[in-house]
């Protein structure tokens, strides 16, 4: 399984989840786990996704998600799960 971690952070606005989830669905990327919260007007979401069925290279997906983030005024980062785990190891 080719898992990745997607984080989305920024000012809350209508349609953030819809835009991100539509992109994922259109690219056959399955959401395995998701956590989303809004704190004092700031949107924060973290997803673990499975990219096995996606036809695009990981770098293209990461770049396209970052571009979507710029368009809607949030920061979207996509990292491979193993790299994310190494960065956040205690």
| Mean model confidence pLDDT for the chain | 92
Give the pLDDT of residue 31.
Answer: 97
**pLDDT higher than 60, residue 80:** yes
Give the pLDDT of residue 42.
Answer: 97
| Average of per-residue pLDDT across 48-58 | 96
Domains and CATH numbers, the chain: 3-87 (3.30.70.260)
| Average of per-residue pLDDT across 26-41 | 96
Beta strand ranges found along the chain (DSSP E): 3-11, 30-39, 42-50, 74-80
Return the residue matching tokens 């799960």.
81
């Amino acid at each position: 399984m080719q898992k990745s971690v997607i984080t989305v952070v920024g000012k809350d606005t209508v349609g953030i989840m819809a835009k991100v989830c539509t992109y994922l669905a259109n690219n056959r990327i399955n959401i395995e786990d998701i956590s989303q919260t809004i704190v004092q007007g700031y949107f924060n979401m973290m997803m673990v996704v499975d990219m096995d069925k996606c036809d695009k290279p990981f770098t293209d997906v990461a770049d396209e998600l970052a571009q979507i983030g710029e368009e809607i005024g949030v920061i979207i980062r996509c990292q491979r799960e193993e790299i994310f785990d190494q960065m956040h190891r205690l």
